[in-house]
Amino acid sequence: MKPDIEKYMPYLDEYDLTEDKKVQLIKDVWLIMESFVDQAWGLHPVQQCTDRHLIQAGKLNLL
């Protein structure tokens, strides 16, 4: 999922940043929040890798 840059741009109007830096800031914050959501739902790559390892070792049964 990608952030709607134009939607969040007005929140940065009061800061003395270039347009490029504002866009980068929005993307960076979006990635951080996306990572928190992924971790909360068990979708983070580390969690998926760990789960796969446990399934292969027979220590985690998904049924």
Whether 34 maps to a domain, the answer reads yes
* Position 26 in a domain: yes
The answer to the question of residue 63 being in a domain is no
How many domains does the chain contain in total? 1
* Entry pTM: 0.62
Rounded-to-integer distance, Cα 13 and Cα 46, Å? 36
In a domain, 16, yes or no: yes
Work out the number of other CB atoms within 10 angstroms of the CB of residue 53.
11
pLDDT at 1: 78
HSE of 52, CA atoms in CB hemisphere, 13 A: 7
Q: How far apart are CA 35 and CA 3, in angstroms?
A: 14
pLDDT digits (tens, 9 = 90+) for 17-46: 999 999 999 999 999 998 888 777 666 666
